[in-house]
């Protein structure tokens, strides 16, 4: 029902910034909690950031706290991930996902809809 498409990935040197966007179609995301995940080659998918259904709270993996910001705009049916002070270890494919829950979940299994992902490469 809901399709998610990420954009904004690319190549950046360490210390730089990128802003990822996730656009939804086929239905509104206003009833969903939203999350960003990333997966590097040879590693498991990792929760990066989440924002609750009511936008009353956010959550981040420890490694990105203070550097990344998640936000949503239900009027535009979109969610964003602002990434600052990027490090080479942030290199991964980043995917957005939607969960039919009022609370943020760090479990990938909780998310019903997934985007195809966008590549982020950070050079040293």
pLDDT tens, position by position, 74-86: 889 999 999 999 9
Q: Per-residue pLDDT averaged across 26-55, rounded? A: 92
pLDDT value of position 72: 92
Check residue 74 and give its pLDDT: 84
Task: Categorize the per-residue pLDDT at 55 as very low, low, confident or very high, splitting at 50, 70 and 90.
Answer: low
The answer to whether the beta carbons of residues 5 and 20 sit under 8 Å apart is no
Mean per-residue pLDDT, 24-44: 93
Distance CA 6, CA 114 (A): 10
């Amino acid at each position: 029902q809901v399709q998610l498409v990420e954009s904004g990935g690319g190549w950046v040197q360490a210390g730089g910034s990128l802003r990822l966007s996730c656009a939804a179609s086929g239905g509104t995301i206003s009833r969903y909690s939203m999350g960003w995940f990333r997966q590097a080659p040879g590693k498991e998918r990792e929760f990066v950031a989440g924002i609750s259904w009511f936008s009353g709270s956010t959550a981040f993996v420890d490694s990105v706290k203070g550097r990344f910001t998640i936000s949503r705009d239900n009027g535009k049916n979109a969610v964003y991930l602002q990434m600052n002070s990027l490090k080479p270890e942030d290199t991964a494919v980043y995917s957005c996902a939607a969960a039919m829950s009022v609370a943020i979940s760090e479990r990938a299994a909780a998310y019903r809809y997934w985007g195809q992902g966008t590549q982020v490469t950070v050079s040293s």
